[in-house]
Amino acid sequence: MNKKALNIKPNAQTPKYQQIVDEIIERIQQGVLKRGDQLPTINEITGQLNVARMTVIRAYEELRERGIVASQHGKGYFITSTDIQATMHVFVLFDAMNAYKEILFQSLKESLGDQVSIHLFFHYHDITVFENVIVNNLGNYNFYIIMPHFNKDITEIIKQVPKEKLLILDIDVEKLDDSYAVLYQDFEENFYHGLSHALPKIQKYESLTLFLSKNQFQYTPKGILRGFKRFCEDYNIKNEVVNNLEFDHLEEGHAYFLFLENDLVRFVNYANRKGLKLGKDVGLLSYDDTPIKEILDDSGITTISNDFVQMGKLAGRLVHNRQKGKTASDCRLIIRGSL
- CATH number (domain holding residue 292): 3.40.50.2300
Co-location of 174 and 323 in the same domain: yes
How many domains does the chain fold into? 3
For 214, how many CA atoms within 13 A lie in the half-sphere containing its CB?
5
Q: Which helix (H) or strand (E) holds 276?
A: none
Q: What percent of the chain has pLDDT over 70?
A: 95
Domain boundary among 60, 79, 98: 79
Nearest CA to 312 out of 104, 169, 118 is that of: 104
The answer as to whether 173 is a domain residue is: yes
Q: Stretch 111-132: mean pLDDT, rounded?
A: 91
Co-location of 180 and 316 in the same domain: yes
**pLDDT tens digits, 191-225:** 999 999 999 999 999 999 999 876 656 678 899 99
Q: Is the pLDDT of residue 148 over 60?
A: yes
Co-location of 72 and 99 in the same domain: no
Q: Is 255 helix (H, G, I), strand (E, B) or coil?
A: strand
- pLDDT-derived band at 333 (thresholds 50, 70, 90) equals very high
The amino acid sitting at 306 is N
The answer as to whether 40 is a domain residue is: yes
Rounded Cα distance between 130 and 22, Å, is: 32
Task: Give the domain CATH number at 11.
Answer: 1.10.10.10
Nearest CA to 143 out of 273, 234, 13, 21 is that of: 21
Note the pLDDT of residue 258. 94
For residue 195, give every residue at least 6 positions away whose Cβ sits within 8 Å of its Cβ, in sequence order, or none: 202, 208, 227, 228, 231, 304
End-to-end CA distance of the chain, in Å?
A: 65
Q: Is the pLDDT of residue 279 over 90?
A: yes
Co-location of 179 and 201 in the same domain: no
Range of the domain at 160: 88-185+308-330
Q: Is the pLDDT of residue 19 over 70?
A: yes
| Contact between 14 and 22 (Cβ < 8 Å) | yes
Q: Stretch 315-338: mean pLDDT, rounded?
A: 92
Co-location of 210 and 129 in the same domain: no
The answer as to whether 335 is a domain residue is: no
Note the pLDDT of residue 88. 77
The answer as to whether 142 is a domain residue is: yes
DSSP state of 281: T
Domain boundary among 55, 79, 103: 79
Q: Is the pLDDT of residue 3 over 50?
A: no
Co-location of 102 and 154 in the same domain: yes
Nearest CA to 312 out of 96, 112, 123 is that of: 112
Longest dimension (CA), the chain: 82
For 124, how many CA atoms within 13 A lie in the half-sphere containing its CB?
3
Note the pLDDT of residue 87. 64
Q: Is the pLDDT of residue 8 over 90?
A: no
Co-location of 219 and 192 in the same domain: yes
The answer as to whether 256 is a domain residue is: yes
**pLDDT tens digits, 79-121:** 988 876 646 789 999 999 888 899 999 999 999 988 788 899 9
Q: Is the pLDDT of residue 12 over 50?
A: yes
Q: Is the pLDDT of residue 65 over 80?
A: no
Would you put residue 326 in left (φ > 0), alpha (ψ -120 to 50) or beta?
beta
The answer as to whether 42 is a domain residue is: yes
Note the pLDDT of residue 246. 75
Average pLDDT, the chain: 89
Beta bridge partners of 90: 118, 143
H-type alpha helices, 5-154? 16-29, 42-49, 53-65, 99-112, 127-136
The answer as to whether 315 is a domain residue is: yes
Co-location of 176 and 34 in the same domain: no
Co-location of 74 and 95 in the same domain: no
174 versus 182: which is more confidently predicted?
A: 182
The answer as to whether 337 is a domain residue is: no
Co-location of 288 and 314 in the same domain: no
Co-location of 201 and 274 in the same domain: yes
- The strand order across the sheet containing 325-328 reads 116-122, 88-94, 143-146, 166-170, 181-184, 325-328
Domain boundary among 24, 47, 79: 79
Q: Stretch 303-323: mean pLDDT, rounded?
A: 93
Co-location of 24 and 96 in the same domain: no
Q: Stretch 239-268: mean pLDDT, rounded?
A: 87
